[in-house]
Amino acid sequence: MSNLPSSMSLTIPVPPRDTSPASSVEALSPRSIIEADSDPSDGLDSCGTSTKSVNQSIFDFVRENGRTYHRYNAGSYMFPNDQYENERLDLQYEILKVLFKGRNHFAPLKDPKRILDVGTGTGKWAIEMGNEFPNSEVIGTDLSPIQPEWVPNNVKFVIDDANEDDWMMLPQDYIHTRILLGCFEDFREIISRSFRNLKPGGWMESQEWMPTVYCDDGTMGPDYGFAEWTQTQDKAAMTLGKPLRIANKLKRWYEQAGFVDVHEEMFKLPINSWPRDPQFKMLGRFNETNLLDGLQAFSLQLFQKGLGWTKDEIEVYLVSVRKALSDRNVHAYHKIYVVWGRKPEDGELGVPSPPTQPVSHSHREKVPNRLSMHSRSSMQR
């Protein structure tokens, strides 16, 4: 369990919070370009800117390959939960906070009374939502008890597995998921369960990472090592029945589940500091650290269980992947999707989702700068 105070955060400058209404059409309009920096250097200078007791066995984490993994329903989540990974998750959280211009949510929340964060991880999002909505009850669920000890009074964390049919939660006003690729056999089931557990008029939102590596200007060759790694990772995940490429399907899945007013925003996140724009350069530099720190975690269990590789084979393979990831001559990026939709009011006729504009593939037209504990024991602090 982390001993970090809940108020601790990484010193990444966050731009002023954008309070303007979100618009899918605006987000997908080609009005901004991520321009590559002609300087091959990193450009660092230019960016200066209990109440209930918990069964102690869940703290006896599974140990493999020098990493630790969750004990509750062991094996259902393929990635570590140790301090090294938790620090990376906190860095990833701050990166997305900057990318989203300070927003924690895009759904138009007014005065939600109950908020559920599925797969809360280190709990930073739940804690910030508890501070933003002090009159709400915020519950974060996870397989690992890795959240801070001290949290706002209206925030609590629960050991739970979202794969289980019965979430045993009161009807929610807002349900949130973030970066859960590879966690479920079929994420449509999570969307359907969320729909059932929402009040009429309540919102669900998913903020998801698309693992595919993209490039707009032809600098990424067919033998690019980091892109090849993502394909290998995808093959391993599919072998294990835990798909990674779900982000670009979320809007359609929301609509199929019955949500209305479904919106989609898409952001570009550089994999390293290749952009010229100072903020994109900063985001890329921190994201490079995020990816380098996570490569082993993203690979170990997937490659061992899905492909039959040994730990030594994985470590040797990752040497060239890390080198490729840090190559600033390749102007590569990931796409981050944010999708949110509303459960219809009782008796409401379906409201069509706003149209989605196609994104041009021309490198001159880019997406804008958004670049078994069945008692579910509470871990409230």
* Mean of the per-residue pLDDT values of the chain: 80
Q: In the predicted model, is pLDDT for residue 93 greater than 80?
A: yes
| Cα–Cα distance for residue pair 274/326, rounded to 1 Å | 9
In a domain, 21, yes or no: no
Q: Is-contact 32 369, C-beta < 8 A?
A: yes
- pTM of the predicted model, to two decimals? 0.78
Q: Which residue has the higher pLDDT, 1 or 91?
A: 91
In a domain, 42, yes or no: no
In a domain, 80, yes or no: yes
Average pLDDT value for residue range 161-176: 82
Give pLDDT, residue 74: 53
Q: What is the DSSP string of 5-68?
A: -TT----PPPPPP--SPP-HHHHHS--B--PBPS--S--TGGG----S---GGGGS-EEETTEE
In a domain, 169, yes or no: yes
Q: Confidence class of residue 19 from pLDDT cuts 50, 70 and 90?
A: low
**AA letter at 342:** R
Give pLDDT, residue 248: 96
User: CATH number for the domain including 80?
Assistant: 3.40.50.150
The residue among 241, 139, 232 whose CA lies nearest residue 182 is 241
Lowest mean pLDDT among 9-23, 79-93, 141-155, 216-230: 9-23
pLDDT (tens digit per residue) in 227-243: 999 999 999 999 999 99
Give pLDDT, residue 363: 33
* Residue ranges making up the domain that contains 173: 65-343
Q: Is-contact 169 140, C-beta < 8 A?
A: no
308: its two tokens: 């039959």
Q: In the predicted model, is pLDDT for residue 217 greater than 70?
A: yes
In a domain, 164, yes or no: yes
Contacts of 232 (CB under 8 A, 6+ apart): 303, 307
Give pLDDT, residue 88: 87
Q: In the predicted model, is pLDDT for residue 105 greater than 90?
A: yes
| Cα–Cα distance for residue pair 230/28, rounded to 1 Å | 25
| Cα–Cα distance for residue pair 191/197, rounded to 1 Å | 10
Q: What percent of the chain has a predicted confidence (pLDDT) above 90? A: 56
- Supply φ then ψ for residue 297, to 5 degrees: -60, -40
Pairing of strands 67-69, 62-64: antiparallel
Q: What percent of the chain has a predicted confidence (pLDDT) above 70? A: 71
| Cα–Cα distance for residue pair 275/331, rounded to 1 Å | 8
In a domain, 348, yes or no: no
The total number of structural domains that make up the chain: 1
Burial class (CB in 10 A: 0-12, 13-18, 19+), 22: middle
pLDDT (tens digit per residue) in 281-321: 999 999 999 999 989 989 998 999 999 999 999 999 999 99
Helix, strand, or coil (residue 346): coil
Average pLDDT value for residue range 95-122: 95
In a domain, 1, yes or no: no
The residue among 117, 204, 113 whose CA lies nearest residue 158 is 117
Average pLDDT value for residue range 262-282: 97
In a domain, 20, yes or no: no
Give pLDDT, residue 12: 45
| Cα–Cα distance for residue pair 83/81, rounded to 1 Å | 7
